[in-house]
Chain A
Amino acid sequence: MDDEAIIDLYWDRDEKAIRETHNKFGRYCHSIAYNILQNRQDAEECVNDTWLRVWDAIPPQRPGRFLAFVGKITRNLALNRLEAYGAQKRGSGQNELIFDELAEVLPAPGHEARIVEEIVLTKVLNGFLAKLPPETRIIFMRRYWYLSTVREIARDLGVGESKVKMTLLRTRNALQQKLEEEGIVL
């Protein structure tokens, strides 16, 4: 079933919508949640929560890119759950490495500036991503949006792990420079 037809089911308040969404995007959302939480049960709960959120959101929303729409919800739910577990849980699995990589790039703003900073940061990130070569952008997004391992990215893109690591290093350096240029102090 195509995305438009599934969205129509939501608008019709037909519960088949959830089953169809699960059939089409269940594995995708599970991989996002699992990459973040590193726990199958937590990931399954996150995916189930995602379907409820989608049910609540459509209508009134009508997503243009349904895959990204459900993926973002799963990712946010998984990050919320990870935050709730606290730093101790965060240290498990490969995520600690990803957090360390990101910590090198960004400053720590005051808590009260958080919302504004996120909006500004997202705008800067969009501009930054737009200028990257497609392969570099995909590698960067796979690592920091999908939290994939270097090995998974290399396998899926058919390139060496070393190339993935070097691309990530260069892109992080370029992002750091971009943030400095935009006045986001490191």
Chain B
Amino acid sequence: MRENQLLRALGQVDEVYITESAPRRRQPLLLRVAAAACLFAGLVGVFSLVQHGSQSIPLQLSSPGIRARYVKDDEALARLPRAAMYSSELISPSTGQPSRVLRGTVHNVQNLEIDFGEVKHYLAAAEIEVWKDIDRAAAADANITVLLPGPVLPAADDLFAQLDRGTEVLLLLHEYRSADVLQVEGRVLRLDELAEFGLFKGSAGLFLQTDAGLRFDVSSYPGLSETMSLEEIENYFRKIQ
């Protein structure tokens, strides 16, 4: 079997890498609690710095010179012209069918800055805990990352602003392959380096169950305007798939 061959070949790699990656023996709970208590004070100080910092995303398959990082300064993002921020056609096809329809719960959302040099694009990545794949018989149980067509700004009056942690969602998704790229200034960004999926057709691929009721882009689905629950939305997509 070819995968066995790769496993065998990997087994013979330099012992430095085997030692480096060896699982560390977990300490007893009492020691871990004590260590955590000792570190807590220091972490409190570091936390405030991290809040205003950023974390870069390694890009290995995209063109050199592109930089991607998570950004946390919502106020700075809010000052950007909004028309320039949302670019759904850039992150997923504008025609065809979604490759997956999933239900799950929002676990985390982080804004992204993609710096192509002269031009910067702002997107967001949502971590979703999936518990149902409506195209497939088997129940799903996994976390996925979904690229959103613009940054998520809590103060904004749009669907993305309601993607709070714990929100139940139904998502139409485009699964990224190597051919899915964002090309700017002659530089090519492989989207599968940012996320496993892109939201299909922007806000038209997003359905949320919020405390205030079901939220989705009604203008894209006028026939569903009376719909009250994600179950009804799910049934709708089951019928048309």
The chain A residues found within 8 Å of chain B, CB to CB, are 27-28, 31, 64-65, 67-69, 71-72, 75-76, 79, 83, 99-100, 102-103, 105-109, 114, 117-118, 121-122, 125-126, 129, 133-134, 136-138, 141-142, 144-146, 148, 152, 156, 160-162, 165-166, 169-171, 173-174, 177
Q: Are A145 and B18 in contact (CB under 8 A)?
A: yes
Q: What 0/1 readout, one digit per residue, does chain B (159-193) give for beta carbons within 8 Å of chain A? A: 00000000000000000001000000000001011
The complex places the Cα of A121 from the Cα of B7 at a distance, in Å, of: 10
Least CB separation from B22: chain A residue = A67
- Asked whether A142 lies within 8 Å of B13 as measured between CB atoms, the reply is no
B157 within 8 Å of A (CB atoms): no
Asked if A174 and B143 sit within 8 Å, CB to CB, the answer is no
**One of B12, B23, B60 near A122 (C-beta < 8 A):** B12
Nearest residue (CB) in B for A167 is: B58
- Are A166 and B195 closer than 8 Å at their CB atoms? yes
Chain B 1-28 interface mask (CB, 8 Å, partner A; 1/0): 1111111111111111111111111000
- Say yes or no: A133 contacts B2, CB within 8 Å: no
- With a 10 A CB-CB cut-off, give which of B1, B25, B61, B127 has the most chain A CB atoms: B1
- Contact sample, A vs B, 8 pairs, CB 8 Å cutoff: A28-B25, A65-B16, A68-B18, A71-B22, A129-B13, A160-B143, A162-B144, A166-B145
Given A69-B15, A102-B3, A137–B60 Cβ distance below 8 Å?
A: no
Task: Count CB-based A-B contacts (< 8 Å).
Answer: 139
Q: Shortest Cβ distance from B40 into chain A, in angstroms? A: 15
In the assembled complex, the CB of A57 is this many whole angstroms from the nearest CB of chain B, namely: 14
For B2, list chain A residues within 8 Å (CB).
103, 106-109
In the complex the two chains form, is A160's CB within 8 Å of B108's CB? Answer: yes
Residues A64 and B61 in contact in the complex (CB < 8 Å), given A137-B21, A142-B21, A156-B23: no
Contact present for A28 and B18 (CB under 8 Å): no
Not counting A28-B25, A65-B15, a sample of 9 additional A-B residue pairs whose C-beta atoms are within 8 angstroms of each other reads: A65-B18, A72-B15, A102-B6, A102-B7, A121-B9, A146-B21, A162-B143, A169-B192, A170-B58
Other-chain contact of B21, A28, A114, A141, A177 (Cβ < 8 Å): A141
Which of B4, B18, B61, B145 touches A79 (beta carbons < 8 Å)? B4
Q: By the criterion CB–CB under 8 Å, are B10 and A144 in contact?
A: yes
Give Cα A105–Cα B5 distance, bound, in whole angstroms: 11
- A71 adjacent to B18 (CB under 8 Å): yes
Q: Is the CB of B15 within 8 A of A64?
A: yes
**Complex: A76 Cα to B145 Cα, angstroms:** 35
Question: Contacts of B133 on A, CB cut-off 8 Å?
Answer: none
Chain A residue at minimal CB-CB distance from B26: A156
CB neighbours (8 Å) of A165 from chain B are 142-145, 196
CB pair B60–A28 under 8 Å, yes or no, is: no
**Across-interface contacts of B21 in A (CB, < 8 A):** 137-138, 141-142, 145-146
The residue of chain B having its C-beta at the shortest distance from the C-beta of A128 within the complex is: B13
What is the minimal beta-carbon distance from B125 to any residue of chain A, in angstroms? 9
The 6 residue pairs across chains A and B that have the minimum distance between CB atoms: A68-B15, A141-B21, A121-B9, A108-B2, A68-B18, A102-B3
B16 and chain A: residue at smallest CB distance: A65
**A107 → chain B closest CB, angstroms:** 6
Whether B13 contacts A126 by the Cβ 8 Å rule is: yes
Most chain-A Cβ atoms within 10 A of its Cβ — which of B8, B21, B142?
B21
A171 CA / B60 CA spacing, docked (Å)? 8
The smallest beta-carbon distance between A94 and chain B, in angstroms, is 12
Task: List chain A residues, Cβ under 8 A from B12.
Answer: 72, 118, 122
Report B-chain residues with C-beta under 8 Å of the C-beta of A142.
Answer: 21, 23
Q: A106-B3, A109-B5, A129-B17 are in contact. Are A169 and B23 (CB under 8 A)?
A: no
Cα distance A181–B3 in the bound complex, in angstroms:
19
When the two chains form their complex, are residues A106 and B5 in contact, meaning their CB atoms are under 8 A apart?
A: yes
